[in-house]
């Protein structure tokens, strides 16, 4: 049986919410991020709309450079609460389209619709309906990629942005991937690109022309993974939560080391929400919360705190995480990575404490 996997990614997400809420901005370049202070500002661009991208602006770019390239743009501070609300609405809609749903960031998710759909026409119809639903109920656009593996679905969702649907059937996979730059492969960034280019590999087609042993010889474990991805052998499932674990953790590396406290908190909030979505569904409770933080230069710390009993309450976790984060407020270094771990897990314990919110979500 064919697997049908969708990857959904909102278009210029933070900027799209701002456009929706301020129609007078439509058609103008909008940049969300640090204050540009007329070109003297520190910090980076979170994202920008497609109008601003015409000037070469993109996420993680220094805000001062963005201002230089596009001084007439509309520069806005992020309003994370609004983005979280929009994201939650979108994810509820996406989740309702299949039992197998995996949110992977504030604006992306995978869906497995193999049980719902019998062929790619049905997958396309479902994707159209999903897009329409999000557009009408939330007022923003999403791009969707459909394939038989997660990684090719992800490459596909990025292919026809914004507001696109790209379907890659198994017999078209090679033609679809052949001329794409290797950085389209999830996990190959600017650094790996240089390394691959040095060995004469520029397009995905160049990889498709190599055997697996050759890829392993050239690039080791990473080469093996990449070869499997482009040849359609990524067997990862769309998974909500794997049971039988001692702890559940997620971490995130910043695109650029940062000391933007708001950005750090928002990422932690994002990670916390993501973890809880799974925990609530799986009825998993925990007692210990840990914060992992890595500063520039790879200096890494973890700090933990335990509750007196098992709970499942994302607000309490966030409160503890911020408390633990505050212990590092005097560090004058930028942050590279942050993560949350919940441990001392228990499934549906006898004594539990849930908030009204987590109760409702469950
Ligand atoms: P992305 O999906 O990477 O970007 P995007 O949705 O803005 O644009 P695209 O149409 O290309 O998908 O990230 C989702 C949101 O996460 C983005 O709107 C803002 C935030 N973000 C940051 O704050 N910093 C970053 O470096 C990146 C990449 C994203
Ligand atoms: Mg996006």
233 and 251 in a common domain: no
- Residue of 7, 10, 47 best suited for mutating to test ligand 1, as the one with most atoms within 8 Å of CB: 47
Q: What is the mean predicted confidence (pLDDT) over 94-107? A: 86
Does the beta carbon of 281 sit less than 6 angstroms from any atom of ligand 1?
no
Give me the chain's average pLDDT, please.
91
Spatial neighbors of 299 by CB under 8 A, at least 6 apart, are 333
Does the beta carbon of 59 sit less than 6 angstroms from any atom of ligand 1?
yes
CATH number, position 214: 1.10.150.20
263 and 230 in a common domain: no
Least confident of 8-12, 133-137, 222-226, 349-353: 349-353
Catalytic (active site) residue 108: yes
233 and 259 in a common domain: no
The residue whose CA is least distant from atom 5 of ligand 1 is 12
Q: What is the mean predicted confidence (pLDDT) over 66-78? A: 97
C-beta of residue 301 within 8 angstroms of C-beta of residue 290: no
What number of other Cβ atoms are within 10 A of residue 45's Cβ?
Answer: 24
354 and 263 in a common domain: yes
pLDDT of amino acid 297? 80
310 and 223 in a common domain: no
Distance 47 CA to ligand 1 centre (A): 5
pLDDT of amino acid 251? 81
286 and 251 in a common domain: yes
261 and 206 in a common domain: no
pLDDT of amino acid 240? 64
Q: Which of 54, 79, 104 is the last residue of a domain?
A: 79
Shortest-distance ligand to the CA of residue 163? 1
Catalytic-labelled residue, pool 18, 19, 108, 269: 108
Query: Does any domain span residue 58?
Result: yes
pLDDT of amino acid 353? 43
Strands 142-147 and 30-33: unpaired
**Count of structural domains, the chain:** 3
257 and 201 in a common domain: no
Q: Which of 30, 53, 79 is the last residue of a domain?
A: 79
Place of tokens 């701002």: 18
The residue whose CA is least distant from atom 21 of ligand 1 is 46
pLDDT of amino acid 349? 45
Residue of 81, 117, 111 lying closest to 9 (CA atoms): 111
SS3 123: helix
Does the beta carbon of 107 sit less than 6 angstroms from any atom of ligand 1?
yes
Q: For residue 232, give its domain range.
A: 178-237
What would the DSSP string read from start to end of 198-247? HTT--BHHHHHTS-HHHHHHHHHHHHHHHHHHHTT-------S--SS-SE
327 and 273 in a common domain: yes
Query: Does any domain span residue 161?
Result: no
- pTM over 0.75? The answer is no
Quote the distance between the C-alpha of residue 253 and its chain's center.
11
Residue of 285, 290, 305 lying closest to 346 (CA atoms): 285
pLDDT of amino acid 359? 47
Q: Which of 237, 258, 278 is the last residue of a domain?
A: 237
No. of H helices and E strands in the chain? 13, 14
215 and 189 in a common domain: yes
Q: What is the mean predicted confidence (pLDDT) over 297-320? A: 91
> For residue 143, what are its two tokens?
């791009």
Distances (CA, A) of 36 to 55, 83, 201, 216: 16, 21, 38, 45
Distances (CA, A) of 104 to 71, 101, 200, 250: 34, 10, 32, 10
> For residue 61, what are its two tokens?
């770019």
Distance 75 CA to ligand 1 centre (A): 16
Q: What is the mean predicted confidence (pLDDT) over 86-107? A: 88
């Amino acid at each position: 049986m064919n697997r049908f996997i969708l990857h959904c990614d909102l278009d210029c997400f933070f900027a799209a919410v701002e456009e929706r809420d301020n129609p007078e901005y439509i058609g103008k370049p909008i940049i969300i991020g640090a204050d540009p202070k007329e070109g003297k500002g520190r910090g980076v661009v979170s994202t920008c709309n497609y109008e601003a991208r015409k000037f070469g602006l993109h996420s993680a770019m220094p805000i001062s450079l963005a201002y230089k390239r596009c001084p007439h743009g509309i520069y806005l501070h992020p309003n994370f609460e609004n983005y979280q609300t929009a994201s939650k609405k979108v994810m509820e809609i996406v989740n309702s389209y299949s039992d197998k749903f995996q949110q992977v960031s504030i604006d992306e998710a995978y869906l497995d619709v193999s049980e719902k759909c019998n062929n790619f026409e049905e997958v396309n119809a479902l994707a159209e309906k999903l897009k329409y639903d999000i557009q009408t109920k939330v007022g923003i656009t999403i791009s969707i990629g459909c394939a038989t593996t997660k990684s090719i679905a992800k490459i596909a969702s990025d292919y026809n942005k914004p507001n696109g649907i790209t379907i890659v059937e198994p017999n078209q996979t090679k033609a679809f991937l052949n001329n794409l730059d290797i950085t389209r492969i999830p996990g190959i960034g600017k650094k790996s690109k240089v390394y691959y280019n040095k060995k004469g590999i520029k397009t995905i087609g160049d990889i498709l022309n190599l055997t697996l042993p050759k890829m392993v010889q050239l690039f080791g474990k990473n080469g093996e993974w990449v070869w499997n991805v482009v040849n359609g052998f990524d067997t990862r499932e769309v998974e909500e939560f794997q049971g039988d674990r001692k702890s559940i953790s997620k971490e995130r590396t910043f695109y650029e080391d940062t000391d933007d406290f708001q950005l750090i908190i928002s990422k932690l909030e994002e990670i916390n929400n993501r973890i809880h979505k799974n925990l609530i569904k799986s009825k998993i409770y925990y007692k210990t919360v840990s914060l992992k933080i890595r500063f520039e230069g790879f200096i890494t710390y973890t700090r933990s705190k335990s509750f007196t009993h098992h709970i499942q309450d994302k607000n309490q976790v966030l409160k503890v995480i911020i408390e633990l984060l505050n212990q590092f407020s005097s560090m004058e270094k930028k942050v590279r990575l942050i993560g949350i771990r919940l441990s001392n897990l228990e499934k549906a314990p006898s004594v539990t404490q849930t908030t009204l919110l987590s109760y409702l979500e469950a």
